Amino acid sequence: MQQLLTDCINYFKKRTVYKKLFDALQKKYASLGHMGGIMKLTGLSFDEKNDLGGFFKKDFGDKKDVKISFALMEKALKQSKFASLSWEEILTAYFGEPLIINKQEKEKENNNKNAFFEKCILYLEQNYNDVQIVKSISAWFVNTWKQNGKGNQIFIKMYNNDSKDKESSYIFIKKLFKAFASLPYLENKTLTLPVFAAKTTGNPHFFDQTTSACRLLLSFIESLSIINIEAKELSQTEYTESIFYQAGILKDNVSNMCLAYGIHGNKKDGSIHKGIEGYYNEKEPMQLTLKTLSTLENIWAGEKQKDLGIEKIYIVENPAVFSYLVETYPNKTFICGNGQFKLAFYITLELLGDRYPLYYAGDFDADGLLIAQKLKKRYPSQVILWGYNTEYYNRHMSDVELDKVALTKLNKVVIPELKQIKQCLIENKRAVYQEAMLEAYIL
Query: How far is it, in rounded angstroms, from Cα 33 to Cα 38?
Result: 14
Residue 309 confidence (pLDDT) above 80: no
Angle of helix 17-32 relative to helix 46-56, nearest 10 degrees, comes to 60
| Percent of all residues in the chain with a pLDDT value above 70, rounded to a whole number | 95
Give me the pLDDT at residue 232, please.
Answer: 52
Sequence-ordered alpha helix ranges (H) in 356-395: 366-378, 390-395
Length of the chain as a residue count: 443
pLDDT tens, position by position, 356-409 = 999 999 999 999 999 999 999 999 999 999 999 999 999 999 888 889 999 999
Query: How far is it, in rounded angstroms, from Cα 222 to Cα 156?
Result: 20
pTM of the full structure: 0.62
Strands 313-316, 333-336: parallel, antiparallel or unpaired by DSSP? parallel
Kind and range of the H or E run holding 202? none
Lowest mean pLDDT among 147-161, 227-241, 299-313, 322-336: 227-241
pLDDT tens, position by position, 82-105 = 988 889 889 989 999 888 777 776
pLDDT tens, position by position, 110-121 = 888 889 999 999
Residue 306 confidence (pLDDT) above 70: no
Query: How far is it, in rounded angstroms, from Cα 289 to Cα 343?
Result: 10
Count CA atoms within 13 Å of residue 402 on its CB side.
26
| Percent of all residues in the chain with a pLDDT value above 90, rounded to a whole number | 55
DSSP state of 382: T
**What φ, ψ does residue 334 adopt, rounded to 5°?**
-130, 150
Residue 22 confidence (pLDDT) above 70: yes
* Average pLDDT score over the chain: 88
Give me the pLDDT at residue 228, please.
Answer: 65
Residue 107 confidence (pLDDT) above 90: no
- Delimit the domains of the chain by residue range: 2-100, 112-250, 257-441
* pLDDT band with cut points at 50, 70 and 90 for residue 304: low
Q: How many beta carbons lie within 10 A of that of residue 417, not counting itself?
A: 15
Q: With contact defined as beta carbons under 8 Å apart, do 174 and 123 qualify?
A: yes
* pLDDT band with cut points at 50, 70 and 90 for residue 231: very low
Overall average pLDDT of the 23-48 stretch: 87
The per-type count for the chain, helices as H runs and strands as E runs, is 20, 12
Give me the pLDDT at residue 307, please.
Answer: 56
Overall average pLDDT of the 289-311 stretch: 79
| Helix %, strand %, coil % of the chain (to 5) | 55, 10, 35
What CATH number belongs to 257-441? 3.40.1360.10
Give me the pLDDT at residue 315, please.
Answer: 96
Taking phi over 0 as left and psi of -120 to 50 as alpha, with beta for the rest, 338 belongs to: left
Closest CA to 376 of 341, 424, 405, 351: 341
Overall average pLDDT of the 213-229 stretch: 85
Overall average pLDDT of the 212-224 stretch: 92
Q: What are the residues facing 333 on neighbouring strands?
A: 313
